[in-house]
Amino acid sequence: MKKTTTRLADGRELIYYDARDDSVRDAVDQRPLDATTTASEIRHDPLLGEWVAIASHRQGRTYHPPADQCPLCPSGPGRHSEIPAADYDVVVFENRFPSLTGGPGPQAATGPDGIFTSRPGAGRCEVVCFTPDHHASFADLTPGQAALVLDAWTDRTAELAQLPGVAQVFCFENRGAEIGVTLSHSHGQIYAYPFITPRTERMLARLADHHRRTGRNLFDDVLDAERAAAERVVVEGDHWTAFVPHAAHWPYEVHLYPNRRVPDLLALDDAARAEFPHVYLELLRRFDRLFTTPDTPRPAPTPYIAAWHQAPVDHPRRRDFALHLELFTIRRTEGKLKFLAGSESGMSVFINDVPPETAAARLRQVATTGHPGTALARP
């Protein structure tokens, strides 16, 4: 992998990740952009103990542009995008409309006993472009291209974890207008948070509680139990296991774990890195076939969220945390979405219409063959 760093016209950083070592990236951003001046704030919710980002400048972000004005396509004659080059393999750049931006600053407290707490929304938000092809998706990538994306995620995790004030790095992909995606070009994002996210805090608390009670690691026990039960296992490789969790929140939800526990992407060994593209591409392709029937042989692409859970940058239980990816869709059947209504949005109590065992069986049913390094689990 060759890494080339440059700057866009407004000062934002852009990084090319190329599979070929002889790639030359000397294109210059020709757009007349003013220097970026974005800022955000985080406010603490005293009832839930959670931070909320306030970023009003995001109201003006690009919204469903036509294909010939896509900012994530390569630049061409008479058309300048966020990527100055005429072609690319993988590109990462600072988000023009970030939710978190800048360095750490002082905390302010107002109200009785300082109950209203806020501070700058320090951190960084980046965009990851997986392919120059406007009409392709991650599932269309070759294993080599997917491996390059994994290398980019890993490199950005290492770099962002070193920024002052960053507590956690989150790589993710939103796919589909139903999810809320405003740019249809295949891409993901990376957030460098100035705090540990609420979901991770809850996992760390459960991890500590389980260790106090049993002396064992909760992540290890969950993975071992799912592999032993087998009925919810979807894909089993030599180095990765994908399963629908026993208490899945979403209609079709898969958790992908390396068989050897590691805290983050940087700690994956060469064998796990080599197998990952085959397993992950297989999962994404199955997601796109979930709702295929004789009546709908070519349904709309399945909307999904793919979220990497990594250990916080600095935490006493960092080495006990298990890197894993959660992949889920909000589609529960063809033409019907799972909306977060009263119980889910109001009380955080999920109600799943698809039994996890049924979801796992369907994901095994739509398997493909011929993907090296991937053994298909049987019911």
Q: Which of 54-63, 124-133, 204-213 has the lowest mean pLDDT?
A: 54-63
Spatial separation of the C-alpha atoms in residues 136 and 15, rounded to whole Å: 21
Predicted local confidence at residue 240, as pLDDT: 98
Q: What is the mean pLDDT of residues 97-118?
A: 93
> In which band, very low, low, confident or very high, does the pLDDT at 45 lie, cut at 50, 70 and 90?
very high
Between 62 and 220, the more confident residue is: 220
The residue behind tokens 């032993």 is: 228
We find that the CATH architecture of domain 2-195 is 2-Layer Sandwich (3.30)
Using the predicted structure, report yes or no on whether residue 375 has a pLDDT greater than 50: no
Amino acid at 198: P
| CA angle, residues 93, 95, 101, in degrees to nearest 5 | 115
Using the predicted structure, report yes or no on whether residue 379 has a pLDDT greater than 80: no
Spatial separation of the C-alpha atoms in residues 341 and 346, rounded to whole Å: 7
| Nearest to 185, CA basis, from 146, 136, 127 | 136
Residue from 44, 80, 135, 187 carrying the catalytic annotation: 187
Annotated catalytic residue 80: no
Using the predicted structure, report yes or no on whether residue 378 has a pLDDT greater than 50: no
Between 377 and 305, the more confident residue is: 305
Q: What is the mean pLDDT of residues 17-38?
A: 93
- With b for 16 or more beta-carbon neighbours within 10 A and e for fewer, the 347-374 pattern comes to eeeeebebebeebbebbbeebeeebebb
Using the predicted structure, report yes or no on whether residue 168 has a pLDDT greater than 90: yes
Q: For 259-268, write each residue's pLDDT tens digit.
A: 999 999 999 9
Q: For 46-75, write each residue's pLDDT tens digit.
A: 999 999 999 987 877 777 899 889 999 999
Taking all residues of the chain, what is their mean pLDDT, rounded to a whole number?
A: 93
| Nearest to 8, CA basis, from 102, 111, 81, 117 | 81
Assess contact for 157 and 171: CB atoms under 8 A: yes
Spatial separation of the C-alpha atoms in residues 221 and 209, rounded to whole Å: 13
Q: Where are the domains of the chain?
A: 2-195, 199-376
Beta bridge partners of 233: 243
CATH class of residue range 199-376: alpha beta
Q: For 311-327, write each residue's pLDDT tens digit.
A: 999 999 999 999 999 99
According to the annotation, is 134 in a ligand binding site?
Answer: yes
Q: What is the mean pLDDT of residues 324-334?
A: 95
According to the annotation, is 125 in a ligand binding site?
Answer: no
According to the annotation, is 239 in a ligand binding site?
Answer: no
What is the DSSP code string of 333-349? Answer: ETTEE----IIIIIH--
3-state secondary structure 229-281: HCCCEEEEECCEEEECCCCCCCCEEEEEEECCCCCCHHHCCHHHHHHHHHHHH
Predicted local confidence at residue 103, as pLDDT: 87
Q: What are phi and psi of 199, to 5 degrees?
A: -65, -40
Residue 266: half-sphere exposure toward Cβ, Cα within 13 Å: 14
Residue 86: half-sphere exposure toward Cβ, Cα within 13 Å: 5
Q: What is the mean pLDDT of residues 202-228?
A: 98
Using the predicted structure, report yes or no on whether residue 360 has a pLDDT greater than 50: yes
According to the annotation, is 70 in a ligand binding site?
Answer: yes
Predicted local confidence at residue 376, as pLDDT: 43
Assess contact for 287 and 327: CB atoms under 8 A: yes
Predicted local confidence at residue 267, as pLDDT: 98
Q: For 77-92, write each residue's pLDDT tens digit.
A: 989 999 999 999 999 9
Predicted local confidence at residue 369, as pLDDT: 56
Using the predicted structure, report yes or no on whether residue 187 has a pLDDT greater than 60: yes
Look up residue 331 and give its two tokens. Answer: 């589609």
Predicted local confidence at residue 150, as pLDDT: 98
Q: Do domains 2-195 and 199-376 have the same CATH topology?
A: yes
| Nearest to 99, CA basis, from 220, 8, 191 | 191
Alpha helices in the chain (DSSP H): 143-160, 198-214, 218-229, 270-289, 347, 356-365
